[in-house]
């Protein structure tokens, strides 16, 4: 069998491979995030922080979770939240912690951590893309109305797990209500 005789099959195979690749690059992130947001939303609702248990080897609420981290999540819908959502923290533990914002394409569009919020306090407003209300302070401009807030807190000392867990529960998501 020569290549020249089967060029149509080769071309068709390559075309199918390119189409499958393009579809997976374009739609797989949305599917992953939709599945994640749906599961977390069922567990705790929308525009509300959910503080998860310490992950085990069987945990998969967060992709590839670390047993050295405690995770808190907030599925947000800025349309339901009046155009903005406050992510607030106070009294955070003296260990590494971060707040990461993800859009529905799984893109991480904003991060703040304990080095930037040195006093363990955070007041962050997530704004909808079309929101035109000027606000002072730390602001994250969301690329779309829906997404996920992920808070990670490091367990740096097993003897203080309960204290670290109690402190990270001070992170909240609160809808901003227009007046």
How many helices (H) and strands (E) would you count in the chain?
A: 2, 9
Least confident of 8-12, 141-145, 158-162, 165-169: 8-12
Q: What is the model's pLDDT at position 179?
A: 40
The rounded distance, in Å, linking the Cα atoms of 68 and 82 is 35
Q: Is the CB of residue 107 less than 8 Å from the CB of residue 153?
A: no
Cα–Cα distance, 150 to 73 (Å, whole number)? 5
Torsion of CA 152, 153, 155, 157, to 10 degrees: 160
Query: Cα–Cα distance between 175 and 75 in angstroms, integer?
Result: 12
CA separation (Å) from 117 to 20, 73, 86, 89, 120?
Answer: 43, 19, 15, 10, 6
List, for residues 30-67, the tens digit of each pLDDT value.
Answer: 777 788 788 877 878 899 999 988 887 776 655 677 88
The predicted-structure confidence for 73-130, as pLDDT tens digits, reads as follows 999 999 999 889 999 999 998 999 999 999 998 999 999 999 998 899 999 999 988 8
Instruction: Kindly report the average pLDDT of the chain as a whole number.
Output: 87
With H, G, I as helix, E, B as strand and everything else as coil, classify residue 127.
Answer: strand
Q: Please tell me the pTM assigned to this model.
A: 0.81
- Confidence check: pLDDT of 25 > 90: no
Tokens found for residue 163: 């204290």
* Edge-first strand listing for the sheet containing 138-141: 138-141, 122-127, 84-89, 172-176
| Res 20 pLDDT > 90 | no
Burial of 160 (0-12, 13-18, 19+ CB in 10 A): middle
């Amino acid at each position: 069998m020569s290549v020249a005789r089967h060029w149509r099959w080769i071309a068709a195979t390559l075309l199918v491979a390119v189409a499958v690749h393009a579809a997976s690059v374009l739609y797989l992130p949305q599917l992953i995030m939709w599945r994640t947001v749906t599961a977390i939303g069922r567990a705790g609702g929308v525009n509300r922080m959910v503080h998860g248990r310490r992950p085990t080897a069987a945990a998969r609420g967060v992709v590839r979770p670390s047993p050295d981290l405690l995770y808190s999540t907030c599925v947000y819908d800025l349309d339901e939240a009046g155009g903005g959502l406050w992510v607030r923290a106070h009294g955070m533990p003296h260990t590494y912690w971060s707040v990461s914002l993800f859009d529905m394409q799984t893109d991480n569009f904003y991060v703040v951590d304990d080095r930037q919020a040195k006093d363990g306090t955070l007041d962050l407003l997530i704004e909808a893309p079309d929101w035109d209300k000027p606000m002072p302070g730390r602001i994250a401009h969301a690329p779309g109305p829906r997404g996920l807030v992920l808070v990670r807190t490091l367990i740096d000392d097993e003897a203080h797990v309960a204290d670290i867990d109690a402190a990270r529960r001070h992170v909240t998501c609160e809808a901003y209500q227009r007046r």
